[in-house]
Structure formats: structure tokens, C-alpha cells
Structure 1
Amino acid sequence: MAKGKGKRQGGARAAAGEVPVDLHRCFVFPNRMREQRRAAGHVRLLRLASAIPDIPYIRLSKIERGEVVPRAEELRRIAAALNQAPGELLLDVDAPGFDIAAWAEPFLDGAAPDFAEERFAVLLAAALRARRAGDPALTIAAIERDYGIAPVTLSRIENAQKTFDRWNAATHRALYQLLRVADEVALRQQVTGLHASGALDGVLGQIAGAAARHERTRARIAEISAGLQAGVPAPVAVVAPLSVGGAVSIRLIAVLGAPLAAGLIADTPTPEKVEAPHAAGPRAFGLKVCRASLGGGLPGQAVVIVDPDRFPAPGGLAALREETGWRLLSVGADRDGRMIGYSSNPPLEILLDDCDPSRLAALVGAIFP
């Protein structure tokens, strides 16, 4: 993403029918992490990462670059490694001196923006949204099943997170098929034609422009600040610990789960309760596996313990909240350190570093039949 112009919002807000190109749309969490890291003597991020093994390097980099929004607990760990109060890492994006273009400068590659390609990315996002709006059968699950576009990729395309040339060949082919064109030339002609005819006017406003991104950033920073002040969130769906002989020894938690299509699990309450592991956080709950989506090692009759307050790490298991339910994934890392979630049935690979952290939870235990 190259640098644009404009105080705080990085671009003009589009009028009806115009294309809302926000050259800073990838920067959803501007912060003071880079500034504080250097002040603490960590010239390179890799040195700081070695002090925070619970946060993968790629995710730590994305947090510093403002490309993902951290959890309050992640911010606490980063601040502790820097000997800072967590609030010192936050920025006030409404402060008179804040300029998103100036803040983003160190993270840009220096190349001038290709405004035509940025504009086409927004139009493609609108065309895909319009296609889905016109066909109720094109659910997120159906697009993943029939066209091979994972939910996180679909979300990024529909929010114009990358220009068309930065998507791989497999995604290009899937888009041709989904939008019913033969090749890139036909795709560009169709998308620009739809815009020229006014067919995309109703959905262009759904793609966040600079003003909407600024408002969302403000809200996310406020949520993190509140989370830092409140500490641990209040328990959800937790049954009080049992007292045995006057001493607390067992905590029972609710079990959710019902099978859905494409390997998903609905968070439908069940009458079951299971014992929580001692390491489980206050919001932990049980989730019925329902089917062996990760292979025979985790049978469908098992119950896993999901901890929303713990972020998954490579080598473990995770639950990813999708539109209609939970998906269980084994977690690994590729050669670049990116965290990948894997499913065996259906076969999936999901880039977890690009997922909203509020949708991800670590599995901290399992109960087998």
C-alpha cells in the first residue's frame, strides 16, 4: 500500500456513484509500538519478538504496522516486554496532531500508488458484493465449497484489502468463475461496465472509505482501552465452581454444539456440563466436535474446551468463529512464520494472521468418550 494524502483520514470521502479509494485502508490500528520499541533499545522487531514467545513474529509485526487489532492481553504482554504501561502503546487518532499518512510513512514501500488499480480493487469488491446480494444461494459457506475462496479471503476481497494483481492465480480463476467471465480482460470490462451503468452504486457505500475506517479505528482503540482498564472480562456461560468439603475443587462449564454443513459447529446450547481445566479462563466453554474434521485423533464424540481469552499458537488447536458457527483447526506456521489453520474434513488452509483476533480462540483441553 503506498502513501496517499490527507489529514487523518488518508483520502476523500466519496460521493454517491464515486469510488471510495482509501489509500490507508490496511492501517486499522495505528499505535506507538514502533516508537516505544526503539526507545526501549530494540532496534529490530525480531529482538523484541524473542521476549514475547506467545505472540508469533508475523502477528507481532502486523500489530506494530497497524494491520491487525490486538487483544488487550496481547497488548499487555508487549507492554511488559517494553517495561511500559499498556496504555502507552495506544494512540488518540482524534488528536489535532495525528496524521495517518505521516504515521504510516515508515511502513510503506516508497512506491507511488497505482490509483487505477486501487480503484479497480474497490469496484471488484462492489461487484462481488452485488453478485452475492443478487443470489441468496451464494453464502460464505457455498462460495468456499464451490469456488474454493476461504471466508477470510472473501472478506479481504470484498473490502478491497489488496489490488487484483496481488491475489494469486487460484484466486483469479475462482473470481472469473464466480463472476462468470472467461479471463482478466473480461473481468475488468464487466466490473467497469457495471459501475458505469450505476449497478454498483447501492453497494459502493458498504466498502469502508477513509471516514468509516477512521471511525472503526477509534471504536477499536476505545474497546482495547476499556479492556485494559477492566482487566479480565466477566464470565460467560460458566457454572459456579463446586465446593467439596468447603474447598473449591471443580468448575463446571456449559457445552455447546450441533453439526452444520462444511464442518462447522453451531453454538447451540446443550444440557451437558463438563469440568474445566485449571488453565481455562473465566469465559471458557465446551464445544462438541460433532464430526472428525481434524481426523481420527479428535473423534466427533469428543468435547473440546474453548478459551476465548487465549490466542492460539503454532502446534496447538484453535476454534475460528465464522458467520454461522465455529470451525476447529490445527495450527501451524509456514516458512515465513505466518500462522496457518488446517482442517482435514473439509480440507482447508486458513491464514489466521489475517483473521480478526476476536474470532479466534485457543483449545485448552479435550474430553474423549
Structure 2
Amino acid sequence: MAKGKGKRQGGARAATGVVPVDMHRCFVFPNRMREQRRAAGHVRLLRLASTIPDIPYIRLSKIERGEVVPRAEEIRRIAAALAIAPADLLLDVDAPGFDIALWAEPFLDGTPNDLAEEHFAVLLAAALRARRVGDPALTIAAIERDYGLAPVNLSRIENAQKTFARWNAATQHTLYQLFRVPDETELRQSVAALHASGALDDFFAHIASPAARHERTRARIAEISAALQTSDAVPDPVVAPLPVTGAVSIRLVPVLGAPLAQGLIADTPTPEKAEAPHAAGPRAFGLKVCRATLGGGLPGQAVVIVDPDRFPSPGSLAALREEAGWRLLSVGSDRDGRMIGYSSNPELEIVLDDCDPARLAALVGAIFP
């Protein structure tokens, strides 16, 4: 993205034939965390993560990469671990020297973007928006009920969050049904025809444009900055120190785990023991990750501490008990406020609110090799 072009594109109706693409739409909260972490001597994020046990490593990684918007308290905890002021983690995206392309460069894997596929993702997003506008019966609830497309995935498609090939076969088939076409070839032809007719032009401005992203980012940084100032103005309560009654005890819990198909983990006993956090419940146990089902941020050699007495919350990690074994999930929420569990390998999205609470457990710690 050429510097400064994002602001000129936003808001204006795109000319027919022009497909506006924000190549940095996944970076919703650029910040100075990577810079400050390295300045503090933490070459690897894992080393810093070990000093902030209250923030799961995967969420910490997403915060540093600007892929999620942190809470003010998370910014405070990260800043405390780095021995800096919380405001030192925030960026001024309106500063003359700021360029989102330069900021994002360390987080890219070096694979060049397929511009044609990025264009099609935007066209598909606009076409789906147009399809829903043209048929009032296609509400979010109706699409989930009749087509099995979860609202979180509908939102991601309509915001061009992934290229078509990155959607699983079930989601691709649902799109064929929604557009009443038999296959990908005809879907692409149908979307291209809509674009050529100008039917999609009015919807481009509602998809993640550089200017819209810039405005949202500015607003989010301002909100967190205000929240930090408010919390700084309130003095922390004075807590009397607990009497020292002896040495702090270390609690070891059994470690279970063996790899199963489809990313599941069997609760097979192992000879290992793991140290549990002091706040972990009496039924807590260790679980070998076995394979990186949540991506590289939680390696297969790691052990997580599972607490069946705690219920997971958005922004955390969870273990879901399925018939064959345990599944590790990253927990988020959709625009309707429902908790969604995500797995990247295999790629799954599970509505946790529909699961039996007895099958869900929070992860309260992780031990990395």
C-alpha cells in the first residue's frame, strides 16, 4: 500500500471495474509491543509470556501482531512486565512517520499476496452483502438456520477476511447454495458478472477499506488511552501483606495426553508431572498439546494446565471434552455476543454456548519446552 493512499480511498464510491483491497485489513491495533519487548531484552515472545501468566500466549501473540484489540488491563500487565508506562505501548497512527506497511512487515511470512485472490475475496464479500440486501428473508439467523453458516463466518466473508481457498469445503459449498451455483467456476463467473454490471459498487465502502480501518484503529487507541488514564487516576487499594507461615508449596498434577486424529488429545496417563498455578482448582491436570492445533504459538511439545472448575471466557484458551478426547480451542466472541471456540489445525469454529458446560474447562497455565 502506497503511503497516504488509504485515506484517499476510504468513503468514496469505487469506480466500476476497480476493486479496492486493503492488504493490511487484519491489523486492527498496531502497537509498540514488539519494539518495547526487544528493547527490554526479550528476544522471543515466549520469554516475555512466561512473566505474564494471566494472558495466554496465543492472545499475547495476537496483541503484539495487532490482530486483536487488547483491554486496558492487558496493556497495563504487559507494560508492567516490560517495566515501562502503559502509554509507551501505544502508537500514534496519524504521526507523519507511521506507515502500516512498514509496521506490519515483521509479522508477514514472506509469501507474496495473490492480488487476484484478494480481489475476489472483496468481490465475494460485496456480492454476499448485495445478495442479503436483495432478499430481506436472508437474515443472519435465517442463514445460520437454513444454510448452517455461523454468524462469525458470515461476518468474516462479508469483510473479506480470508481468500476463497482458505475456507473449508463446507463453507465453500454453503456459498454455492447461497448464490445458487453448482461449483466454484460458476460462483466466480456469477460474482464477476455482478461486478461488471456495477451492482457491487455501493458495497465496497462497507468492506475493510484502508481509510475505514485507519479510523477504527485511531478510535480504538483513543479509547484504550482514555481507559488507561482513568484507571491510573484511581489509586490501587492497599492490601495488607499475608502473614508468612512457611515456604510456598509447589503442587504437581498428573499430565495426560496422546495424539488422536482430527487434532484431538486422548486423556492417556503419562509419567510426567506439571506444576499447577496456585489458583488452579482441585481437579486441575496437565494435558500434552501433542500437535500445534492452535498454530505455532502453542507448540506440540507444550503442556497446558486444564482446570475443569473454571469456565473459559473470550480471549482465553479452553479445552472441550469430545467423545474421543480433548480439543484445545482459542476462545472469542461473535457480533451477537456468543462464545466461539477456534482451532486452526484442523480448521474449526464451535459455538461454545451450545456445548454442555460440564464438557468445557479453562486453561490456566502453559509450560513450554
Same fold, TM exceeding 0.5? yes
1:318-333 equivalent positions in 2, closer than 5 A? 326-327=337-338
Show structure 2 runs of 5+ residues with no match. Answer: 235-310, 321-329, 357-361, 363-369
Write the distance in 1 (CA, Å) between the matches of 2:165 and 2:346. 23
**TM-score relative to the length of structure 2:** 0.65
CA contact (8 A) 1:159 1:207 kept: yes
Counterpart secondary structure, 2:180: coil
- Is 1:207 the equivalent of 2:207? yes
Aligned to 1:251: none
Q: Is 1:116 paired with 2:110?
A: no
Tell me what 1:6 maps to: 3
Is 1:153 matched up with 2:153?
yes
Q: Flag the 1:114–1:12 CA change in 2: closer, same or farther, 3 A.
A: farther
Please name the residue that 1:23 is paired with. 23
Partner Cα separation in structure 1 for residue 353 and residue 214 of structure 2: 39
Distance 2:148 2:312 in 1: 29
Q: Is the 8 A contact 1:25 1:209 kept in 2?
A: yes
Query: 2:124, 2:160 within 8 Å by CA — same for their partners in 1?
Result: yes
Shift of 1:342: 4.5
**More divergent stretch after superposition (18-27 vs 191-200):** 18-27
Structure 1 residues 321, 65: CA separation in 2 closer, same or farther (over 3 Å shift)?
Answer: closer
Q: Counterparts of 1:338 and 1:192 in 2: how far apart (Å)?
A: 28
- TM-score normalised by L of structure 1: 0.65
Question: Contact (CA 8 Å) 2:331, 2:339: kept in 1 or not?
Answer: yes
Inter-CA distance 98–200: structure 2 relative to 1 (3 Å threshold):
same
SS of the counterpart of 1:231?
Answer: helix
**Residue in 2 that maps onto 1:169:** 169
1:184 is aligned to 184
Q: Go from structure 1 to structure 2 and tell me whether the alpha carbon gap of 1:116 and 1:233 turns closer, same or farther (over 3 Å shift).
A: farther
DSSP-derived class of the 2:36 partner: helix
Question: Who is 1:314 aligned against?
Answer: 318
CA distance in 2, matches of 1:208, 1:108: 19
What amino acid maps onto 2:352 in structure 1? Answer: S
Q: Structure 1 regions of 5+ residues with no counterpart?
A: 235-305, 348-361, 363-369
1:79 aligns with 2:79: yes
| SS of equivalent to 2:123 | helix
Q: CA deviation at 1:137?
A: 2.2
- Determine if contact 1:7/1:101 at 8 Å carries over to the other structure: no
Greater Cα offset, 94-103 or 164-173: 164-173
Change (3 A) 1:47 1:337: farther
Structure 1 residue 122: Cα displacement = 0.5
Ranges of 4+ aligned residues in structure 1 off by more than 3 Å: 7-15, 310-313, 318-324, 326-329, 333-347
User: Partner residue of 2:299?
Assistant: none
The CA deviation string for residues 232-290 of structure 1, in whole angstroms up to 9 with x for no partner, is 999xxxxxxxxxxxxxxxxxxxxxxxxxxxxxxxxxxxxxxxxxxxxxxxxxxxxxxxx
Cα distance change, pair 36–113 in 1 and its aligned pair in 2 (3 A): same
- Which residue of the partner structure matches residue 62 of structure 2? 62
| CA RMSD, 1 decimal | 3.6
CA distance in 1, matches of 2:101, 2:8: 9
Contact map agreement 2:49 2:57 (CA 8 A) in 1? yes
Partner of 1:138: 138
| 1:304-359: CA deviation from partner (whole Å, max 9, x where unpaired) | xx999x9555369x9976555x5467x7x858799976437479xxxxxxxxxxxx
Task: Kindly provide the amino acid, as one letter, of the partner of residue 129 in structure 2.
Answer: R
3-state secondary structure, aligned to 1:104: helix
AA aligned opposite 2:70: P
The Cα shift of 1:113 comes to: 2.2
Aligned length: 272
Q: Is the 8 A contact 2:75 2:86 kept in 1?
A: yes
CA distance in 1, matches of 2:225, 2:46: 26
Residue 343 (structure 1) aligned with residue 347 (structure 2): no
Q: Say if 1:132 and 1:220 are closer, same or farther in 2 by CA, change over 3 A.
A: same
Match of 1:226 in 2: 226
TM-fit CA distance, 1:218: 0.5
Residue 197 (structure 1) shift: 0.6
Instruction: Provide the rounded CA distance (Å) in 2 between the counterparts of 1:323 and 1:82.
Output: 33
The answer as to whether partners of 2:126 and 2:204 remain within 8 angstroms in 1 is yes
Percent identical across equivalent pairs? 67
Task: Report matched runs for 1:91-102 at 5 Å.
Answer: 91-102=91-102
Q: Secondary structure in 2 aligned to 1:314?
A: strand
Instruction: Give the conservation status (yes or no) of the 8 Å contact 2:126–2:158.
Output: yes
- CA 1:167–1:322 in 2, change beyond 3 Å: closer, same or farther? closer
Displacement of 1:145 in angstroms is 2.4
Aligned-residue offset at 1:161? 1.2
CA distance in 1, matches of 2:349, 2:195: 36
Aligned to 1:241: none
Distance 1:168 1:230 in 2: 44
Q: Distance in 2 between matches of 1:40 and 1:341?
A: 38
| Cα distance in 2, alignment partners of residues 120 and 233 from structure 1 | 48
CA contact (8 A) 2:14 2:20 kept: no
Is contact 1:58-1:337 (8 Å) kept? no
Q: Aligned pair in 2 of structure 1 residues 6, 165: CA closer, same or farther (>3 Å)?
A: farther
CA distance 1:32–1:130, shift in 2 (3 Å): same
